[in-house]
Structure 1
Amino acid sequence: MASSSAHEQHPHHHHHHLRTPYGATAAPPPTPLSQPNLSSTSGHADALSLLLHRLPPTLSLPGRRSPLSNKTAAVPSVSLSEHAEVLSACKHLGFFQLSRHSVESELANSAESLARSLFDLPRDRKQVYFPKNWPLGFDSEADDDDHAAGGAGESFCLDSACSSEESELDLSSLRAFTREMEKIGKEVTEALASIVGFDNPAREDPTRVSSLLWISDGSSVSTPVLTGRMYPFAIGLQYQIRCQKYHMLTDSGWVSISPEVDSILVTVGDIAQVWSNGKVQKVRGRAVPAGEDGSRCISIALLITLPLDSIVSPMLPNPANNEDEDEDIKNSNNQEHEEDSKGERRMFNPFPFEDYAWRIYHERLLLKDPLLRYRV
């Protein structure tokens, strides 16, 4: 994973000032020279997009779908061997549940208890034991005055080994849980690639994918709203310890779901949508617990994602289209993309994973699909 030096290597990530396309007022009638050229560069569009993302949440925008509208959806229960059911769930919904799997309920409960105890640690201990090394480490979105609010808005992002600076901290149950979930995540990724018909980048080189354990301590909400940090992933896994409703933001809008107890909720992420060349639906961010406002809820999600130095691109089955792609991306983001041997055209331009991950982590892209700018 990248070290904290990533901040220095990417100065363009720190958006302290916005450039807006407003020009000086001219006497009517206006002339073309006195008008701002909004289409001259993509910089203006990006600045306007960033400005919209930072508008107050109470501001009403014309034509914007209400974030509170949602529908209830059934969660299909499938086996990875049931190719037709997996394909249907991924193409039409972007999520399903695994009722038969190898993770023991006792292990899941033990991992949750340990996670809860981490949030009960003093704030300074959390920062020392899990120092910030984006995206890893302890993170708190609460203001200084809100630190006493039961840890709401806090999260831990851990690597697959659940590394900690404190050797005396017993994380064995959390590590065992992570290993079991990681195995299932890789099985799901391989099954999805085979069923949908794209190349799994980890098939020949396991280092081309990575795993993150995202543990959040927040409040359940009665209305659908994205909470907590967002991070790109191919496959997300959440073990269902108890009967619990969730809100999820999918490509078709907000849905409320109720997975079965002891099942594993599988969500298809933005990276898998790019890999599949747009053949599957996706879930934006992690599922948000639904319930009475203010009730504490520990959420643990295993994310199959990518190393920061990766290039994200459709993983079309024709090797000729993917050859030397990492080098080509540096000079040809906007070039015309070839069709593969079956006539399938790429639906997304390749893009650097780190830039994309940094943007959606810090900017909270709520108004539009963050992949829109990369569509061909």
Structure 2
Amino acid sequence: MDNTTAAPPPTPSAQPNSQLSSSAAAADALSRLLHRLPPTLSLPTRRSKPSTSFPPISLSDPNLQDLLFSASSQLGYFQLTNHNIPSQLATSAELESVSLLDLPKDKKESYFPKNWPLGFEGDEYGNGESFWLDAECSTVSTELVLSSLRQLTRALEKVGLEVIEMLSNGVGFENPLAEDPTRNCTLLWLHGALDGNDGLSGGSYPYIVGLQYQIRCQKYSLLSDSGWVTVLPQVDSIMVTVGEIAQVWSNGRLKKVRGRPVACLGDCENSSCISMSLFVTLPSESTVSPLLPKVITDGVNAEEDEIGEDEEQDNIDSVSKTGRRLFRSFSFEDYAWRVYHEPLLFKDPLDKYRI
């Protein structure tokens, strides 16, 4: 017979006290958890893209023509300093641009009716609204005051024509615009977008050179022949981009920038960005073709000289010097329509006309 004495059962009165103590501790822990402040969350600091070398060129430099040709043949863009366009004019023109963008939509459409490529472009994709204006900033309205915009347009156009003349001399062909001013057409593009949504709305348009006055410190993205680059022009400088028409005229000796400069994400000082870009381009009825130097074209049958489609890009300069064409002639109107309506990020539209 087992004489081991069993342990007495727990005292009944002790069990409720233990349960109450555990419940109180759990309640305290839950209370502390519920009243604990959530951790402070913050987004990582946005890392800005490094700026690409952006050569400043003084309009008073004695070697101006050589500097322009060097920058255009190597990069396709540059900035001009020591020009005679006052900053007050650019600021006043920007204020007039803001007044246009602040108009009710029905007035924008009635004052600037669509007549491609001119007219008002609505905000179809959330990237902002834009205007395409001619050199006189023409409008059917008699109420709008656009005197500063007109003055800035004429001043930038004058600089653009001077650049085209010097680039023509640098490449070695006669400037097609020198003898007949009606051979060029000037377009002013105004665009307003919320910060970070500048995008590529409002279409693009082929041009010889594009110019934009740099009112404030702001980075831009450019789609160059070597891909997207980020540049930071000096305040009060004029940003100049070489367009596809100049590249064809030069038979490939000049680099180009496709489309217009795009304000970088988050780089605008205010909640909205205003862009004013001027394009020296061609009338719609024009034909675009390489303009080979006279010393080369004499006695050369350009139609018989062709370059295989697999020709390396590095050989462009040497090929152009032999007088052989790198591009077929094409209708400017057809090309402009295609560039305006196709996304800029796809294949270079000039590839279709390369020989």
Give TM-score, length-normalised by structure 1: 0.72
Work out the percentage of aligned pairs sharing the same amino acid: 54
Instruction: Give the drift of 1:195.
Output: 1.3
The alignment covers a number of residue pairs equal to 289
1:112 aligns with 2:94: yes
Task: After superposition, give the CA deviation of every residue in 1:224-251 in whole Å (9 maximum; x if it has no partner).
Answer: 9644411000100000000001111100
- For 2:263, the equivalent position in structure 1 comes to 289
If you compute each CA radius of gyration, which structure gives the higher value, 1 or 2? 2
- Aligned partner letter, 1:96: F
The 2-side partners of 1:71 and 1:292 are apart by: 14
Q: Encode CA deviations 1:34-80: one digit per residue, 9 max, x unaligned.
A: xxxxxxxxxxxxxxxxxxxxxxxxxxxxxxxxxxxx76312101135
Distance 1:227 1:208 in 2: 28
Equivalent-residue separation in structure 2 for 1:365 and 1:107 (angstroms): 31
Q: Residues 195, 211 of structure 1: CA spacing in aligned structure 2 closer, same or farther, 3 A cutoff?
A: same
2:232 maps to a residue whose letter is S
What is the CA distance between 1:153 and its match in structure 2? 2.2
Unpaired segments of 5 or more residues in structure 2?
A: 1-48, 308-318
- Summarize the Cα distance change of 1:155–1:207 in structure 2 as closer, same or farther, 3 Å threshold: same
Does 2:109 match 1:127?
yes
The residue that corresponds to 1:85 in the other structure is: 67
Give ranges in structure 1 of 5+ residues lacking alignment: 1-69, 147-151, 323-333
Shift of 1:177: 1.0
1:234 to 189, 208, 227: 208
> What per-residue deviation string (whole Å, max 9, x for no partner) do you get for residues 134-177 of structure 1?
0001012426xx6xxxxx42111111011000022111111111
**SS of alignment partner, residue 174 of structure 2:** coil
Closer/same/farther in 2, CA of residues 341 and 101 from structure 1, 3 Å limit: closer
Tell me the alpha carbon deviations over residues 177-229 of structure 1, each in whole angstroms, 9 at most, x when there is no partner. 1111111111111111111222211111111111100111124449x964441
The aligned amino acid for 2:215 is: I
Give the distance between the partners of 2:160 and 2:320, measured in 1 at CA: 30
Residue 361 (structure 1) aligns with: 340
**2:249 matched to 1:267?**
no
- 1:183 corresponds in structure 2 to 158
Structure 1 counterpart SS, 2:57: coil
Distance 1:321 1:137, change over 3 A: farther
In the alignment, the residues of structure 2 paired with residue 175 and residue 141 of structure 1 have an alpha-carbon distance, to the nearest angstrom, of: 25
> What secondary structure is seen at the aligned counterpart in 1 of 2:115?
coil
Structure 2: distance between partners of 1:341 and 1:87: 15
The 3 A distance-change label for structure 1 pair 360 and 291 is same
Q: Which of residues 252, 274, 286 is equivalent to 1:310?
A: 286
Within 5 Å, give how 1:151-166 maps onto structure 2: 152-166=127-141
Q: Contact 1:215–1:301 at 8 Å: present in 2 too?
A: yes
Q: In structure 1, how many angstroms separate the alpha carbons of the residues matched to 2:243 and 2:177?
A: 16
Cα RMSD of the aligned pairs, angstroms, is 2.6
Work out whether residues 218 and 267 of structure 2, in 8 Å CA contact, stay in contact via their aligned partners in 1: no
In structure 2, how many angstroms separate the alpha carbons of the residues matched to 1:162 and 1:171?
Answer: 7
Deviation, 1:318, is 2.5
